[in-house]
A and B are shown apart, each in its own frame.
Chain A
Amino acid sequence: MADEKRKPVLEVQDLGIDFGGLTAVNDLNMKIYPEQIDGLIGPNGAGKTTVFNMLTKVYQPTRGKIFLEGQDMEKLNPVQASQAGIARTFQNIRLFYNMSVIDNVKTGMHNHISYNNFDAIFRTGRFRRGEKQAEEKARELLEIFHLSEYADLTAGNLPYGQQRRLEIARAMATEPKLLLLDEPAAGMNPQETEELMAMIRTVRDHFKIAILLIEHDMQLVMQICEHITVLNYGMLLAEGTPQEIQNNPEVIKAYIGD
């Protein structure tokens, strides 16, 4: 996958973060290419979610650089990181629980709807056009994620699997260049996981974006990821294709022990 002609969507150079005296992540280098599904794996406490939090600028890295399509992300806050094109989901689902399913998705489009409060109060043509577009796009996304029938339900009343899907739909509504999925299959049964995998592939093919996912379900990772990065104790342990990772003695040691 180290195709020299393709430019990476995301490039991480010597990334590191300390919490007090504890080094959580150190010397991490990663490249993520467009239209590729990447996996970020590692034993518990390896620093995977910390990496996500740095990429979305929830945490400010102590060392190193993050480039999104060549743009340095150092000075961005989480809101700007989202506007720059990084979207994410959370390990413990974070939906807008008191809002309807479709409104959750529309909220994701916040920065792509262009009317102001004046338009909203006076219901101008700009407001109606903006809302109509948002409605159509939200319906489209719900369709893709098989959530159409739940559109008007309150998000908090959705079953667990649908909540996971809604979170991805909301992230996609921000029109990201890179989608970060934090344990998307956690708590799902085999059938739901199967559906989820198909959906992740659909997202990649339909929206032509890069996806980086953290997952403990090795079957899922090995089946859908085209490239895998393994973290251990905050450091890069290995990277490569699923075959390479599966046969890497270091990785096996880290997971199973000596």
Chain B
Amino acid sequence: MKDLLKRNKNAAVSYSIVIVLFIVLSIMSGAGLLGRKYTALLVPVCCYIVAAIGLNMNVGISGELNLGQAGFMSLGAFTAVIVAGALNFHGVTAPALVMLICIVCGTVVAGFLGWLMSIPVLKLEGDYLAIVTLAFGQIIVNIINNIYLGIDENGLHFSFVNNTIQMQEDGNLLISGPMGATGVNTVSTFTAGFILVMISLIIVYHLMNSRNGRAIMACRDNRIAASTVGINAVAEKTLAFVVSAALGGAAGALYGMNYSSFAATKFDFNLSILILVYVVLGGLGNMTGTIIATTLLVVLPEVLRFLSIYRMLIYAIVLIVIMIVTNNQAIRLRLKNLRMKNGGRGKGKEVSGNG
């Protein structure tokens, strides 16, 4: 029972941090205490957190490096744009409803494509798997970069590479190639982002502490041993991969609905790496850490803006320092001791020796 409590405690810490952050930031932005540039970051932070939680499922829990999370975000984002455009055309404009339908569609599309991709990808292991996910991420973004899509009373119009769409007068061009999505109704709100973060956390924690969650971690720790207790490693890794992709899609949908226009190149390789950095910095398999790391690293460049041209230099240095400090055995030990003193949850049976 103690073990269960401990795990629920991890989840409870995550939930409370998110809830407290949401309340504090809502009050601050309501009272106008947050500047405009920080208010503008509220929704993106939620997107990045959801994408990072998803990626942590794949990288931390399942132990497979995935360099294509931005690709799944772009799928979610553009699916959301198309669905929102179609809904708008048919007179559905209630923001909450549009938001809900768009996020569900983005999640399903990204999850489905993630599943399709997992078939070739999960035949590989380690570095090779990472390189293939990188390629898939690039392919998705480059395909979307060449799509023209419009809607009018005759339905959806689509063309590839060149814009050959001819529409009725009441038609709307939703995606215009390299220009990306245009004329999007910005329906994303901080509240929607908060709810999405909470739902993602609940899904990931509940899966982690279940039969399949244990199986996923078992395959990560020792694939051969996992097979000898009757666990099908490919099936378990597929589950992690699909959940990761689906949450990436949900994050993308929220992101897409936050800007009136955005290009597919927004979801390039750099974004995949950035999200991976959030995950690694937050700790593999550590959702609370991921949330904190994401929040700090999204806000940091804005805080450092006064440094003008030296901004990214300092940002990089801060990143390196954090990595070194959080991975330093001596400092970690000190932190652990501090926590034990405060928590009083001393482990009398700590055993030396390692396997």
Contact = CB atoms under 8 A, between A and B. Distances in A.
A97 B221 contact: yes
B222 interface: yes
Interface string B200-235: 001100110111111101101110111111111000
Contacts of B354: 156-157
B36 interface: no
Nearest to B224: A94
Interface residues of A, number: 53
Contacts, number: 124
Contact of A160 (B4, B227, B349, B355): B355
Contacts of B218: 96, 99, 107
Contact of A79 (B2, B222, B231, B349): B231
A130 B232 contact: no
Nearest to A103: B214
B206 A107 contact: no
A149 B351 CA distance: 11
B6 interface: yes
Interface residues of B, number: 37
Nearest to A119: B210
A78 B223 CA distance: 11
B120 interface: no
Candidate in A77, A106, A152, A173 with the most chain B CB atoms within 10 angstroms: A152
Interface of B: 1-4, 6, 202-203, 206-207, 209-215, 217-218, 220-222, 224-232, 239, 349-351, 353-355
Given A94-B224, A99-B221, A152-B2, 10 more contacts: A82-B227, A87-B228, A96-B222, A102-B3, A110-B231, A120-B207, A121-B202, A123-B206, A149-B349, A157-B355
15 contacts: A78-B227, A82-B230, A87-B228, A88-B228, A95-B225, A98-B217, A99-B221, A102-B3, A103-B217, A107-B226, A110-B215, A121-B203, A163-B355, A171-B228, A171-B229
